[in-house]
Amino acid sequence: MVEFKKLSLNISKSNFVIFHPYQRKLYREVNLKIIDNNLEQLVSLERKTYVKYLGVLIDSNLSWKHHINYISSKISKGIGIIARLRHLVPRATLLNIYRSLIELYISYGLVASGQAANAHSNKLVILQKRVLRLMYFSNYTSHSAPLFACSGILPIKMLYFKLVASLLHDIENHCAPPNISALFTRSEQVHSYSTRSSVAGSLYIKQARTNHLLLSFCRVGAKIWNGIPSLNFRSKGKHLLNAN
């Protein structure tokens, strides 16, 4: 039995979620109970399809649908502010507003949600292109690539790659939490013989039999890190960050 000293739980705000693949349905009812010291009795906890943890909405299937819908609503408010101010302030001010009210929400939790299905992530892509066209007074059908280049704003996919590479740089330099660092293994620790990846100091890319594992952070992160061109393995992350 785990003992929590001097820890008081708010029972009314406590709930739980069961994580499982979308294809696998739960056929058993799970009833979790906790002792309410105020009432001196067992109280059943409510089961949720998603929970909010440190500002990130984590759903039972890890589809990130609820989180993307949540930040999409936040981003839409920022777009409304830019739409009203674009006639009154210089573009440099609009870009600062973008980074404060829009990119902040896009970046937060993107390392986890960046591999969400296109059906969900496309909402953010559309909103990002929309705000760029508003800032540059472009037609809604105009190409967004020149606008990204002029503004210095990274598309969401490239921003995801940058954030993942930055985190891998922290892992390489032993600055990341141990539980995240434990997700990655060097190729030289897996193969007993010399290979091209082990000699280069690359990260081992785990085998995947399911789509969930295929898109997992441990695989995607290793592939991004191994794909960064650099003269020195330890300077990969620093090289990428300086380039941006």
The angle, 0 to 180 degrees and rounded to 10, between the axes of the packed helices 65-85 and 118-135 is: 10
Instruction: Write the single-letter amino acid at 45.
Output: L
Structure tokens at 114: 């960046």
Percent of residues in the chain assigned helix, strand, coil, to nearest 5: 50, 10, 40
**What's the confidence (pLDDT) of residue 219?**
86
DSSP reduced 3-state for 90:
coil
- The enclosing H or E element of 33 equals strand 33-36
- pTM, entire model: 0.79
**Spatial contact of 153 and 98, defined as CB atoms under 8 Å apart:** yes
DSSP reduced 3-state for 35:
strand
**Spatial contact of 136 and 87, defined as CB atoms under 8 Å apart:** no
Radius of gyration of the chain (CA): 22
Token pair 């020149």 in the structure block, residue: 146
* Cα–Cα dist 153/30, whole Å: 46
**Spatial contact of 72 and 123, defined as CB atoms under 8 Å apart:** yes
* Cα–Cα dist 126/123, whole Å: 5
**What's the confidence (pLDDT) of residue 92?**
95
Strands 15-16 and 46-47: parallel
- Residues lower than pLDDT 50 in the chain: 1-2, 198-199, 231-241, 243
Cα dist from 1 to 15, 45, 201, whole Å: 20, 19, 43
- The enclosing H or E element of 236 equals helix 236-243
**Spatial contact of 204 and 190, defined as CB atoms under 8 Å apart:** yes
Instruction: Write the single-letter amino acid at 212.
Output: H
The DSSP output letter for 228 is S
